[in-house]
Chains A and B, each alone.
Chain A
């Protein structure tokens, strides 16, 4: 027996509504050595951006930014890397499931900084779009911190009358001085 409500019942339950505004713990996304040049080189080559502002120190100092900078949303990726010395998550994932998709079981962190799950029976997740707002580019040596919150949850009724949720999370990225670097708003459809 499923406890899932019938599709015509609202998915925007009081428990779901209560998640709006809930914040995760603010955590450091970078490692303790901060943003470094080799990681920046690998990243910028992967987006095929040869901008000298990422690698030519003398030129970078002459720009309005005054120092080597990173690409616009570099700070949103650095928290995804595996910490040195941690148990190998790839080996662990395939040991647990030889048919692992390489992502579902590959846990690289301890869940720190994660939001609590939205209490809904709608388990299928689709990306509904993102918004990126930029304030400042990170610099070499910067320490990056992130904090996520549920910014909005709306209900939509589909053509067949079934309900879905549009869940928007907002993550603020700041540096070691508390200065805002960028805001990432990501919307997911749950149905």
Chain B
């Protein structure tokens, strides 16, 4: 887990310092418990019983246990990418799919590996493979992300972020 102090003191990773194949430091979360799942359901007012009612999840839905929420996973990946880009980069885009189910007891390793890098309008772009791997190596949320990191001596990344015209479909 990352602490508040680490995020406060986070040093910028520059585009120049990252090569294709670079693996960013992972974020490890877990083991997950029913309380973690319930806290998320309460936070976003998602009352679907498969996330907190074990009896319903197992006996009505035929699931192995209560399930970690897709919406939670969908929030964790951008949160991790945000951390990687701090303080001045930008986690522009992420796409992902929901694969292996998360159940209590699972430990999740959120990861990103650089697959491509390029420069556009003076900004440094990184394409990454990303995911949330479970302790038995199943991938729960495979996807791809585009990060924007500052180039040493280059211009600051605009905020609000405006993508280069060439990269907008």
State yes or no: do A and B come from one complex: yes
Taken residue by residue from 64 to 88, chain A's Cβ proximity to chain B (1 for < 8 Å, 0 otherwise) reads as 1100000111000100111000000
**Chain B min CB distance to A161 (Å):** 24
- Cβ B45 vs Cβ A108 within 8 A: yes
Asked if B101 is an interface residue, CB under 8 A from chain A, the answer is no
Taken residue by residue from 118 to 136, chain A's Cβ proximity to chain B (1 for < 8 Å, 0 otherwise) reads as 0000000001111111111
**CA A72 – CA B90 in complex, angstroms?**
10
Q: Interface residue count for B (Cβ, 8 Å)? A: 50
Interface segment, A16-24, A48-56, A142-150?
A48-56
**Chain A min CB distance to B94 (Å):** 5
**Chain A min CB distance to B82 (Å):** 5
Task: For B7, give its contact among A52, A134, A136 (CB under 8 Å).
Answer: A52
Using a CB–CB cutoff of 8 Å, the interface residues on chain A facing chain B are 42-43, 45-53, 56, 59, 63-65, 71-73, 77, 80-82, 90, 99-103, 106, 108, 127-136, 179-180
Cβ contacts A to B, 20 pairs, < 8 Å: A46-B43, A50-B2, A50-B4, A50-B7, A64-B87, A64-B88, A71-B75, A72-B91, A73-B74, A77-B44, A77-B71, A90-B47, A100-B49, A101-B50, A103-B48, A129-B97, A130-B97, A131-B93, A131-B95, A179-B160
